[in-house]
């Protein structure tokens, strides 16, 4: 009997002892744990285009038409209502993985109540300790990219 330990996940098949065959269009890694691509258009939906990392809205996020060309829609989050989107599962494992994060946003206002108030764009925490909590935020009108405690700040 062929056994993979850890078990293959995300549709991977155990083909030999501790060898998983992954759907290479979507998953990679020794047990198919790392996503190859994820895409959220936020065009009237919180779903991932590939249906793996679907979002769940909190406090009623809405959509609006951007108006400049009349096509499509965009996600509209209201800070005063603490609106957000979470991706409950599966866990996005980016350990020892190169990745690109691209976002287009148009903030009408940025909350700047104090220097430690963030306008969050993306975050993922394994544990809330240094180097284990990735976040991309706007703080004091500047972009920050960090792993909790040792941020890299943008200059504009």
User: What gap in Å lies between CA 33 and CA 97, rounded to an integer?
Assistant: 11
Single pTM value for the model = 0.74
Distance (Å, whole) CA 20 – CA 39: 25
Q: Which of 40, 35, 7 is nearest to 122 (CA)?
A: 40
Residue 77: is its pLDDT beyond 70?
yes
- Whether the pLDDT of residue 78 is over 90: the answer is no
Q: What residue ranges do the domains of the chain occupy?
A: 1-36, 38-88, 101-156
d(CA 149, CA 141): 19
Q: Please report which confidence band the pLDDT of residue 61 belongs to, taking 50, 70 and 90 as the band edges.
A: very high
> Quick check: 110 and 138 in contact, CB under 8 A?
yes
| Residue 107 CA: distances (Å) to CA of 98, 110, 111 | 28, 6, 10
């Amino acid at each position: 009997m062929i056994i993979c330990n850890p078990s293959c996940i995300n549709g991977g098949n155990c083909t030999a002892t501790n060898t998983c065959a992954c759907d290479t269009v979507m998953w990679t890694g020794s047990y198919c744990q790392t996503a190859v691509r994820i895409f959220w258009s936020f065009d009237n939906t919180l779903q991932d285009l590939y249906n793996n990392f679907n979002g769940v809205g909190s406090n009623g996020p809405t959509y609006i038409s951007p108006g400049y060309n009349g096509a499509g829609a965009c996600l509209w989050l209201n800070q005063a209502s603490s609106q957000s989107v979470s991706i409950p599962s599966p866990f996005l494992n980016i350990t020892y993985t190169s990745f690109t994060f691209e976002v287009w946003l148009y903030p009408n206002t940025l909350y700047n109540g104090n220097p430690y108030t963030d306008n969050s764009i993306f975050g993922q925490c394994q544990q809330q300790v240094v180097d284990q909590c990735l976040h991309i935020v706007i703080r004091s009108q500047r972009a920050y990219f960090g792993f909790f405690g040792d941020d890299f700040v943008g200059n504009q």
